[in-house]
Amino acid sequence: MDKLKAQIAEVADLIRNSEKVLVFTGAGISTESGIPDFRGADGIWSKYDPEDFTIQKFMSDKRARKLHWDLLSDGDLSMFKADPNPAHHAITELKNTGKLYGVVTQNVDGLHQKAGLPDEMVLQLHGDLSHARCLDCGSRFPMQTVVEWIGADIDEPVCENCSGMLKPDAVLFGEQLPFEVLSEAEQRSRDCDLCIVLGSTLSVYPASLIPRYASEGGAKLVIINLGPTELDSWADIRIEGKAGEIMPEIVAGVGK
């Protein structure tokens, strides 16, 4: 048995012997669905000025809001068009084994839910670009619906319930991470007995603290990523590879 097969079998065995498996996902799992990352050499911030993506600019500048809606409609941020990949589906299969304690994600694409996970199982630390939210009444709308409104020659989409301003339901620069989501993610990380990291360099704080908390709490830590991560030295098992190739094999091995 080669090293990779042995590692896959070892992780499957860890899952079988665990009761609460927490999965932490980063941009690497989304890029396998064709979604560009934000911070890579060819990422979104190499094409656009991050200053146009502050909450202050969004609230005060109609031009900045138009840029957001254009990118969400048919540009680099039109994530609602993407489909889940084998890694997302493997995580859903993991839920069906009864072992999944939750998914903590840095991603804003909603692909975990699209792959069949219920909202309460997914803790989106940076929000969700697959939906928009009204800043006045809090109503939430699928981004595809908002894009249809824009396609009907609406200059700027507004809430159909109260006519309030709509905002993409993701965390913009200058906004705090959602406190309740962050607190729940920390609590689950300290309670889990196995944490599996998929597609993250673990370099963005405070999100990257979640796997650290899990390890400090006594959980086994598995990292699957292309390239080094900030917590490689903490990992009980470190697999170099794509989440969409490795995770389905691991989950398939759980039932063997």
- What are the pLDDT digits (tens) for 181-231? 999 999 999 999 999 999 999 998 888 999 999 999 999 999 999 999 999
**pLDDT value, residue 256:** 67
Radius of gyration of the chain (CA): 19
Residues 6+ apart with CB under 8 A from 88: 29, 33, 111, 112, 114, 115
Q: Where are the domains of the chain?
A: 1-35+83-126+176-256, 39-81+129-170
Separation of alpha carbons 244 and 90, rounded Å: 8
- What are the pLDDT digits (tens) for 138-152? 999 999 999 999 888
Question: Is 89 marked active-site?
Answer: no
**Of 68, 88, 112, 126, which residue is the catalytic one?**
126
First to last CA, the chain: 16
Share of the chain above pLDDT 70, in %: 96
Q: Show the beta-strand stretches assigned E in the chain.
A: 21-25, 100-105, 122-124, 127-134, 140-142, 166-170, 194-198, 220-225, 237-240
Of the CATH numbers 3.40.630.30, 3.90.180.10, 3.40.50.1220, 2.30.110.10, which one belongs to the domain with range 1-35+83-126+176-256? 3.40.50.1220
- What average pLDDT does the segment 18-36 reach? 92
CATH fold of 39-81+129-170, please?
SIR2/SIRT2 'Small Domain' (3.30.1600)
> In b/e form, how buried is each residue of 25-58, taking b as 16+ CB within 10 angstroms?
bbbbbbbbbebbbbeeeeebeeebeeebbbeebb
**pLDDT value, residue 40:** 66
What is the band of 78 on the pLDDT scale with cuts at 50, 70, 90? confident
